[in-house]
């Protein structure tokens, strides 16, 4: 059967079937593909630093130095953070009887007086019984064997995730090691007439993404400093740590505010008790930080660097959250930066068309 004799309908049907099979295979292989995607993203982020170091030393040595520096920084951070957190957890445990007493005397009394609702009395010694009752109610362990099977399944899931955590740095190393060769191979695969244009657009997208990363890091540092300074001035012992965590978590809009606000309120209750003055100061501090993030830092530092106006920055975050939830919020601004570059080139092409210049008209508008 010659190529001309193939029915176009069957050819289209074959293409649709191949696409459906490819999508199904990608969905089934997603647990395997995700570590490679994550490793590729990390390699893209680390490549500029590795490229600079590789001018003076071999590339594989530069990669190891970058790995060692990141690992050392994380170890030093945990070395400083963990003892402080343990001290605060011990203080929280010692303050627990006061919290229970406030609940039993104030909260229960208010509900009884105003809503005619009788809440149970909580005691420290009853926590273990409450935990067992919760497990029995929500998980319905019929016997010890079913409970052990659940624990074993959770353990296997943890082992698999730990394996992926170990796999990602290895994959990142190989991506970094052959990065230039892989980019050159992709360049040679582009058809000749379009090579220069495609490479130019790709370079602009790369510049926009790198500008976003630098701008986002600056936002995280400044916002963390705003939160930390305010909480330290209020007198919160964990103010510095909470401010830093809130700044780091602000990579996802509103996440840093949520985590920092909840952590600060809990720390305030443990340190000062139910003191409305300190609670009001903490609420005010986070409102100031949220206003600075949403209306000053992100629009000015990110919007200018990725070529988006403050309105489009806010719209991108809200649209990403509406479409994909948490993941959408995470990738909203990088995707918007790339789409902005593509739209600018598409608009420039539109301005160069004969239709825009009036040399051609659509049949719809012809008399």
Q: Is the pLDDT of residue 152 over 60?
A: no
Q: Is the pLDDT of residue 154 over 60?
A: no
| DSSP states of 5-27 | TS-HHHHHHHHHHHHHHHHHHHH
Rounded mean pLDDT, 183-189: 84
pTM of the prediction? 0.65
Domain extents in the chain:
194-351
Identify which of 56, 144, 130 has the alpha carbon closest to the alpha carbon of residue 100: 130
| pLDDT category of residue 187 using cuts at 50, 70 and 90 | confident
Q: Is the pLDDT of residue 342 over 60?
A: yes
Q: Is the pLDDT of residue 365 over 80?
A: no
Identify which of 249, 224, 222, 253 has the alpha carbon closest to the alpha carbon of residue 239: 224
Selection from 130-134, 147-151, 237-241, 243-247 with the highest mean pLDDT: 243-247
| pLDDT category of residue 72 using cuts at 50, 70 and 90 | very high
| pLDDT category of residue 68 using cuts at 50, 70 and 90 | very high
Better-scored residue on pLDDT, 156 or 41: 41
CA neighbours closer than 13 Å in the CB half-sphere of residue 69: 10
The Cα–Cα gap between 64 and 61 comes to: 5
Q: Is the pLDDT of residue 129 over 70?
A: no
Better-scored residue on pLDDT, 163 or 64: 64
The Cα–Cα gap between 223 and 212 comes to: 16
Q: At 342, which helix (H) or strand (E)?
A: helix 310-351
The residues, ordered by sequence, that sit 6+ positions from 269 with a Cβ below 8 Å of its Cβ are 95, 99
| DSSP states of 82-114 | HHHHHHHHHHHHHHHHHHHHHIIIIIHHHHHHH
| b/e 200-218 (16+ beta carbons within 10 angstroms → b) | ebbebbeebbbbbbebbee
> Chain-centre distance of CA 247, in angstroms?
13
Q: What tens digit of pLDDT does each residue of 238-251 get?
A: 788 888 888 888 87
Rounded mean pLDDT, 68-78: 87
Average pLDDT, the chain: 77
CB 282 within 8 A of CB 264: yes
pLDDT of residue 144: 47
């Amino acid at each position: 059967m010659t190529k001309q004799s193939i029915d176009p309908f069957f050819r289209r049907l074959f293409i649709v079937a191949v696409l459906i099979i490819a999508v199904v295979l990608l969905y089934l292989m997603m647990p395997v593909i995700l570590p490679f995607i994550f490793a590729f993203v990390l390699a893209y982020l680390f490549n500029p630093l590795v490229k600079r170091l590789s001018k003076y030393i071999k590339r594989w040595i530069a990669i190891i130095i970058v790995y060692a520096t990141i690992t050392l920084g994380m170890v030093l951070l945990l070395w400083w953070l963990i003892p402080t957190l343990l001290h605060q957890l011990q203080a929280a445990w010692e303050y627990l009887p006061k919290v229970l007493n406030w609940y039993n005397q104030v909260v229960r009394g208010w509900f009884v007086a105003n809503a005619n609702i009788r809440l149970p009395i909580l005691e420290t010694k009853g926590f273990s019984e409450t935990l067992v009752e919760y497990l029995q109610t929500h998980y319905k362990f019929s016997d010890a064997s079913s409970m052990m099977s659940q624990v074993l399944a959770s353990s296997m899931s943890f082992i698999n995730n730990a394996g992926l955590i170990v796999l990602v740095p290895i994959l990142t190393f190989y991506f970094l090691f052959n990065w230039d060769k892989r980019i050159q191979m992709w360049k040679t695969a582009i058809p000749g007439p379009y090579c220069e244009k495609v490479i130019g657009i790709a370079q602009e997208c790369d510049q926009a993404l790198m500008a976003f990363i630098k701008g986002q890091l600056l936002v995280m540092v400044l916002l963390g400093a705003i939160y930390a300074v305010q909480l330290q001035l209020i007198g919160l012992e964990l103010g510095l740590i909470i401010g830093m965590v809130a700044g780091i978590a602000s990579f996802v809009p509103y996440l840093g505010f949520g985590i920092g606000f909840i952590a600060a309120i809990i720390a305030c209750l443990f340190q000062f008790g139910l003191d409305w003055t300190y609670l009001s100061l903490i609420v005010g501090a986070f409102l100031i930080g949220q206003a600075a993030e949403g209306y000053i830092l992100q629009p000015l530092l990110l919007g200018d660097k990725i070529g988006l106006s403050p309105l489009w920055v806010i719209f991108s975050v809200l649209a990403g959250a509406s479409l994909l939830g948490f993941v959408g919020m995470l990738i909203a601004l990088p995707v918007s930066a790339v789409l902005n570059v593509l739209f600018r080139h598409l608009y420039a092409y539109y301005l160069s068309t004969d239709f825009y210049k009036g040399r051609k008209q659509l049949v719809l508008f012809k008399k």
